Amino acid sequence: MVEKQRTIAKPVTVSGIGIHTGTQCTMTFKPAPENYGIRFIRVDLGGNPEIPAIVENVVDVSRGTTIAVGEAKVHTVEHVLAAVYGLKIDNLKIELDGIEPPIGDGSAKLYVDALLEAEIVEQEAPKDYLVIDQTVMYHDEERGIDIVALPLDDFRITIMIDYNNPALGSQHSSLFSLEKEFITEYSTARTFCFLSEVEQLVNQNLIKGGDIDNAVVIVDRKLSDEELNNLAQKLNIKHPLFLGENGILNNETLRFKNEPARHKVLDLIGDLALIGVPLKAQILAARPGHKANVEFARMIRKLYQQKKLEKKYQFIKKEGVVFDANAILRILPHRYPFVLVDKIVDLKMGEKVVGIKNVTINEPYFQGHFPGQMVMPGVLIIEALAQTSGILLLNSIPDFDNNLVYFMAINNAKFRRPVVPGDQLILEVELVNQRSKTFTMKGRAIVDGNLAAEAEFMAAIVPKEESQKSQK
Residues annotated catalytic, as ranges: 290, 369
Query: What is each CA distance from 278 to 128, 130, 132, 199, in whole angstroms?
Result: 7, 6, 11, 38
Asked if 281 and 137 count as a contact pair (C-beta separation under 8 A), the reply is no
Closest among 88, 94, 51, 56 to 73, alpha carbons compared:
51
Asked if 140 and 250 count as a contact pair (C-beta separation under 8 A), the reply is no
Asked if 323 and 343 count as a contact pair (C-beta separation under 8 A), the reply is yes
Sheet architecture: strand order including 38-42: 12-17, 24-31, 92-96, 38-42, 50-52
446 beta partners: 426, 451
φ and ψ at 419, to 5 degrees? -110, 125
Asked if 38 and 273 count as a contact pair (C-beta separation under 8 A), the reply is yes
The C-alpha atoms of residue 355 and residue 66 are separated, in whole angstroms, by 39
**What is the 3 state secondary structure string of the chain?**
CCCEEEEECCCEEEEEECCCCCCEEEEEEEECCCCCCEEEEECCCCCCCEEECCHHHEEECCCCCEEEECCEEECCCHHHHHHHHHCCCCCEEEEECCCCCCCCCCCCHHHHHHHHHHCEEEEEEECCCEECCCCEEEEECCCCEEEEEEECCCEEEEEEEECCCCCCCEEEEEECCHHHHHHHHHCCCCCEEEHHHHHHHHHCCCCCCCCCCCCEEECCCCCCHHHHHHHHHHCCCCCCCCCCCCCEHHHCCCCCCCHHHHHHHHHHHHHHHHHCCCEEEEEEEECCCHHHHHHHHHHHHHHHHHHHHHHHHCCCCECCECECHHHHHHHCCCCCCCCCCCEEEEEECCCEEEEEEECCCCCHHHHCCCCCCCCCCHHHHHHHHHHHHHHHHHHHCCCHHHEEEEEEEEEEEEECCCCCCCCEEEEEEEEEEEECCEEEEEEEEEECCEEEEEEEEEEEEEEHHHHHHHHC
